[in-house]
C-alpha cells in the first residue's frame, strides 16, 4: 500500500483549513449553542417537541414574571389550559403582538370584579400569586359588579400586576386558538 506523500507546502494550508473549521465550530457553540446549553441537557429534544423560549417584556406580570427574564414555554398538546396557568397568547387586537397573562376564567365560568376582588361562579377567587394588597379594578369586561359568562372555547386572562396590565378587562375574552404556550421554566435572568 502506497501512502500519499504531501508536499511540505500543503501542510500549512491543511492546518489553516482545519483550524478555521475548529474556530467556526466554537463560534457556533458560543452563539447558537449558548441558549441550548443554558436551558437543559435535553433542550434540542424539548425544542423538537414544541418547547419555545419567551422573553418577558414589561411589568404586567410582576412580581412573578419580571421584565428581561427568559422562560421556556410548552404547547398544550394533550392538555387544555387551566385556571392559574401563566400563558403566552396572541393579542386579538394586534396579531403581531404576543402577551403573557394568567388564566383566571375558563369556558362557561361566570366572572365578576367587585370591590377590588375577582369572583368566579359567585365564589371569591383565591389568588396567592398576587402581591399583597393588590386591587383588581373592573374594566370594559366586566363592568364593576357585573357578572359575565365566558363563551365556549374562550378564556378570561389577567396580568398579575393588575394596575399595569392590558388584559381581558379591555381586550375581551381570549379564544382558545390564540393561547399558544404555557410558561413552565425560567432559565435566564431569574433574579
Residues 73, 109 share a domain: yes
Residues 25, 63 share a domain: no
Any domain includes 160? yes
Asked whether residue 5 carries a pLDDT value surpassing 80, the answer given is: no
Residues 101, 70 share a domain: yes
C-alpha cell at 96: 403581531
Q: What CATH number is attached to the domain comprising 178?
A: 2.10.109.10
Residues 26, 55 share a domain: no
Q: What is the pLDDT of residue 43?
A: 44
Q: What is the pLDDT of residue 26?
A: 54
C-alpha cell at 77: 398538546
C-alpha cell at 6: 504531501
**Which helix (DSSP H) or strand (DSSP E) does residue 37 occupy?**
helix 33-39
| 3-state DSSP assignment of residue 12 | helix
Residues 122, 77 share a domain: yes
**pLDDT tens digits, 145-189:** 999 999 999 999 999 999 999 999 999 999 999 999 999 999 999
Domain housing 153: 50-188
Any domain includes 6? no
Q: What is the pLDDT of residue 18?
A: 63
**pLDDT tens digits, 12-47:** 656 666 666 566 655 444 444 444 444 444 444 444
Q: Which residues are catalytic?
A: 60, 101
How many domains does the structure of the chain reveal? 2
Tell me which residue of 102, 43, 50, 96 sits closest to 73, measured CA to CA. Answer: 50
Residues 172, 83 share a domain: yes
Residues 65, 36 share a domain: no
Residues 24, 63 share a domain: no
Confidence of residue 191 (pLDDT cuts 50, 70, 90): confident
**pLDDT tens digits, 52-110:** 999 999 999 999 999 999 999 999 988 999 999 999 999 999 999 999 999 999 999 99
Q: What is the pLDDT of residue 138?
A: 96
Any domain includes 24? yes
Amino acid at each position: 500500500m502506497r501512502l500519499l506523500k504531501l508536499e511540505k507546502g500543503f501542510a500549512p494550508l491543511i492546518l489553516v483549513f482545519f483550524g478555521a473549521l475548529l474556530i467556526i465550530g466554537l463560534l457556533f457553540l458560543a452563539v447558537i449553542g449558548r441558549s441550548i446549553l443554558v436551558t437543559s441537557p435535553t433542550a434540542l429534544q424539548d425544542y423538537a417537541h414544541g418547547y419555545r423560549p419567551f422573553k418577558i417584556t414589561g411589568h404586567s406580570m410582576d412580581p412573578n414574571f419580571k421584565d428581561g427574564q427568559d422562560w421556556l414555554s410548552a404547547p398544550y398538546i394533550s392538555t387544555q389550559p387551566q385556571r392559574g396557568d401563566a400563558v403566552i397568547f396572541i393579542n386579538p387586537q394586534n396579531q403581531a403582538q404576543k402577551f403573557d397573562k394568567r388564566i383566571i376564567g375558563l369556558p362557561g365560568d361566570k366572572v365578576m370584579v367587585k370591590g377590588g376582588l375577582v369572583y368566579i361562579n359567585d365564589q371569591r377567587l383565591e389568588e396567592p400569586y398576587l402581591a399583597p394588597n393588590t386591587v383588581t379594578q373592573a374594566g370594559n369586561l366586566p363592568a364593576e359588579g357585573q357578572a359575565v359568562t365566558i363563551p365556549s372555547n374562550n378564556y378570561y386572562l389577567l396580568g398579575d400586576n393588575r394596575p399595569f396590565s392590558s388584559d381581558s378587562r379591555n381586550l375581551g375574552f381570549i379564544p382558545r386558538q390564540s393561547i399558544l404556550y404555557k410558561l413552565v421554566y425560567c432559565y435566564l435572568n431569574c433574579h
